Amino acid sequence: MAFMMNKYKFVPYPAFILGMSAVILLLITSLGCTARQIRAFKGSPPSAEELYDQAVGIIEMNYIDDEGRAIKVNTSKRPDIDSLMSQLDKRSALITRKELEVLANPFAADLGIRIESRKDQLYIIGSIKGSPADRAGISIGYRIVEINGMPVEGLPFSKFFALLKGESGSEVSLKIVGANSETKVINLLREVIKEESLAEVSMIRGKVGYIRLRKFDDKISTKLQSAIKKLKKDGMKCLILDLRGNGGGLLQSVIDTSQLFLNSGKMILQIKGSDLQKDRNFYASWWTRYLDFPMVILIDRYTGRGAEMFAAALRDNQRVHLVGENTLGSASIYALFNLDDDFLLYIRTHFAYSANGQKIDEIGLLPDIEVKISEEELNRLYREVIFNEKMIVDADIEDKQLNGGVSYLLKQIESTSRGTGGKEDIADSVSRPEGLP
């Protein structure tokens, strides 16, 4: 990917990115004089003006606006860096080296909360089972308004997650507001949280395999192959991948996992920056493993980023049908740029597009089979299943979206066995969803 830089390198993808609007994390050194080079040349730290000018150069060369274009920043308030950053999207930020160390540390402790942003507000969509947040009863429906007394409205995700993470045993104070406007202040101790990327592998009605994926980490492709091998041994004839609540993960993991279900040479994803940068396309290159059974992917309003890219790749290549609701629409790509020893710029550089050229960011993916559920139904599903260790087949809950996927796939199997090729009306396949066993 050309950034018109003299060198760049990929940095290991930290866990905190899963809660941010990013899919690639790069650490890049600019072509012009960096603050470190200025210090070496002058024998003194760079001035505020020099840092500001370097930031302007990086932004104008690499940043893209909401329309995917390079921008010319207003420098009338030089060297006010806050004024400069206010001209960018709300997730771009100036972060400190110390914040990056906390965010990039895979062993840093946190509270086990999953967050999404809506209209500058930070909403909790779930707490990892057994985490400090879960034990405190914090679940979907709450909104965070303060961390350690600091208001968080409009705070970039990078800053927000830096406040949540820290040393194991250290205390964090959260001020949260419930759906009924009830306000609570809760003090929690950070812990090192382990979250499995593959949450459940089950059989439904003896024919339908079911796998729930929480995130795309570096082991998900291998885990998924093992899970499918087990399900096929148990008699699986079709497969449901549940991406509801999946916030994405590593770009390479999205690519690798997509290749399991696509023929070599099929396009997976397009990444587009401004006119100053080169676009990049990703294609399947492995020998394909799984083309011999019909598939459905379950999506909802909290399916985001890498999970959206994966679903789009399989949908655009006619490998799956999407069942559920419109997705989050958060598939922008951010990068980190060095300013000096103390500061880095975290800015938006690219948008992700599906194989068919559909922009995902702000738009999301529309399901092939729409199955809407109420806010109350979603909250219960997330509390009892998505962020719980309970198996979906054992949950005492009506899952309309899962029922819709099961009904559609069973009709596909039936029509294939009759030799009709599975060309029945999709909408009719979920008009009378059947319950789980």
Q: What is the CATH number of the domain that holds 298?
A: 3.90.226.10
Q: Same domain for 301 and 390?
A: yes
Q: Same domain for 38 and 170?
A: no
CA distances from 319 to 253, 314, 315, 372 (A): 18, 5, 6, 23
pLDDT of residue 153: 83
Domain that holds residue 117: 109-189
Residue 388 covered by a domain = yes
Residue 152 covered by a domain = yes
Rounded Cα–Cα distance for residues 67 and 107 (Å) = 37
Q: Same domain for 78 and 114?
A: no
Please give the distance of CA 94 from its chain centroid, rounded to a whole number. 21
Residue 425 has pLDDT above 50, yes or no: no
Q: Same domain for 370 and 293?
A: yes
Residue 168 has pLDDT above 70, yes or no: yes
* End-of-domain residue from the set 67, 101, 135: 101
Residue 424 has pLDDT above 90, yes or no: no
- Average pLDDT rounded to a whole number, residues 188-194: 92
Q: Same domain for 360 and 315?
A: yes
Contacts of 323 (CB under 8 A, 6+ apart): 296, 297, 298, 299, 367, 368, 369, 371, 401, 404, 405, 408, 430
Q: Same domain for 157 and 25?
A: no
- Average pLDDT rounded to a whole number, residues 271-288: 86
Residue 366 covered by a domain = yes
Q: Same domain for 114 and 83?
A: no
Residue 262 covered by a domain = yes
Give the tokens for residue 164: 């949540």
Give the tokens for residue 122: 């930070």
pLDDT of residue 434: 38
The confidence band for 44, taking pLDDT boundaries of 50, 70 and 90, is low
The confidence band for 275, taking pLDDT boundaries of 50, 70 and 90, is confident
Q: Same domain for 17 and 72?
A: yes
Residue 381 covered by a domain = yes
* End-of-domain residue from the set 143, 161, 189: 189
pLDDT of residue 426: 38
Rounded Cα–Cα distance for residues 339 and 47 (Å) = 12
Q: Same domain for 129 and 86?
A: no
Residue 341 covered by a domain = no
4-43 confidence digits (pLDDT tens) = 222 222 233 332 233 343 333 433 333 344 444 434 444 4
Q: Up-side HSE of residue 271: CA atoms within 13 Å toward CB?
A: 23
289-331 confidence digits (pLDDT tens) = 899 999 999 999 999 999 999 999 999 999 999 999 999 999 9
Q: Same domain for 204 and 161?
A: no
Residue 340 covered by a domain = no
Give the tokens for residue 281: 């396309």
Please give the distance of CA 343 from its chain centroid, rounded to a whole number. 25
pLDDT of residue 420: 55
% of the chain surpassing 90 pLDDT: 60
* End-of-domain residue from the set 81, 101, 121: 101
pLDDT of residue 388: 79
Lowest-pLDDT range of 19-28, 242-251, 261-270, 344-353: 19-28
Q: Same domain for 178 and 214?
A: no
Q: What is the mean pLDDT of the chain?
A: 84
Per the CB < 8 A criterion, the answer to whether 79 and 55 are in contact is no
Q: What is the CATH number of the domain that holds 146?
A: 2.30.42.10
Give the total number of structural domains in the chain.
3
Q: What are phi and psi of 19, to 5 degrees?
A: -100, 10
106-126 confidence digits (pLDDT tens) = 778 899 999 887 777 888 999
Residue 188 has pLDDT above 70, yes or no: yes
Place of tokens 């990929």: 10
pLDDT of residue 329: 93
Per the CB < 8 A criterion, the answer to whether 303 and 329 are in contact is no
Residue 347 covered by a domain = no
User: Is omega for the bond preceding 79 within 30 degrees of 0, making it cis?
Assistant: yes
Q: Same domain for 143 and 40?
A: no
Contacts of 191 (CB under 8 A, 6+ apart): 109, 110, 111, 112, 131, 132, 168, 169
Q: What are phi and psi of 172, to 5 degrees?
A: -130, 135
Q: Which among 252, 210, 236 has a CA at the least distance from the CA of 401? A: 210
